[in-house]
C-alpha cells in the first residue's frame, strides 16, 4: 500500500470516529440579461451527503486562526472544516453550502482566505476550509 493510501485511510478512520454528517449543495451563478444585473444562484446537481470534522478556530494570539481574525478575514465564531480531499470546495463558477447534522441543524457557507489541501503523490488527502453560519439559511442570491 502506498503512502497516499495509508494517509487517506487514516483520515477516513478519523472521520468515521469523530465525523459529523453533512450535506453539500453546489450552486451555479447565473447573471442577468445585462452585465450589471444581480447574479442568481441555481442548485447544480443533487445533494451530496458525506461526513467531515468541524472544529472551532483557535483565536489565540500567534495561531493561524487568531491571525486571520485579527486581519478581519475571519470572525471569532467561524469554524474550520476538514473533509475528504476529493470533494470540490472551490471554483470560479460555483459556490457551495454545507448543512451540518442529520437532520440538518445549521447551514454554513464557505469563507476565508484560502483552502488548504495538502497533497501526497499528487493526491489531496483532505481539504481544510473555513465556514460561517448562515443566519437565514440561504446564500446571497439563492
Per-residue model confidence as pLDDT tens digits over 78-127: 999 999 887 776 555 567 888 999 898 899 988 866 678 888 888 888 88
Averaged pLDDT score across all residues of the chain: 83
Per-residue model confidence as pLDDT tens digits over 28-73: 877 776 666 677 787 888 888 999 999 998 877 777 778 888 888 8
Tell me the pTM: 0.82
CATH of domain 3-133: 2.40.10
Measured at the CA of 131, the angle between CA 107 and CA 135, to 5 degrees, comes to 40
Contact 23, 86 (CB under 8 A): no
Amino acid at each position: 500500500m502506498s503512502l497516499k493510501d495509508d494517509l487517506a485511510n487514516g483520515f477516513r478512520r478519523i472521520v468515521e470516529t469523530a465525523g459529523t454528517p453533512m450535506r453539500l449543495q453546489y450552486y451555479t451563478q447565473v447573471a442577468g440579461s445585462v452585465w450589471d444585473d444581480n447574479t442568481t444562484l441555481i442548485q447544480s446537481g443533487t445533494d451530496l451527503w458525506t461526513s467531515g470534522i468541524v472544529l472551532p478556530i483557535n483565536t489565540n494570539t500567534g495561531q493561524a486562526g487568531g491571525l486571520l481574525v485579527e486581519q478581519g478575514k475571519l470572525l471569532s465564531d467561524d469554524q474550520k472544516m476538514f473533509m475528504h480531499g476529493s470533494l470540490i470546495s472551490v471554483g470560479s463558477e460555483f459556490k457551495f453550502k454545507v448543512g451540518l447534522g442529520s437532520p440538518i441543524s445549521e447551514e454554513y457557507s464557505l469563507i476565508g482566505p484560502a483552502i488548504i489541501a495538502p497533497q501526497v503523490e499528487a493526491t489531496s488527502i483532505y481539504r481544510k476550509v473555513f465556514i460561517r453560519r448562515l443566519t437565514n439559511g440561504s446564500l446571497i442570491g439563492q
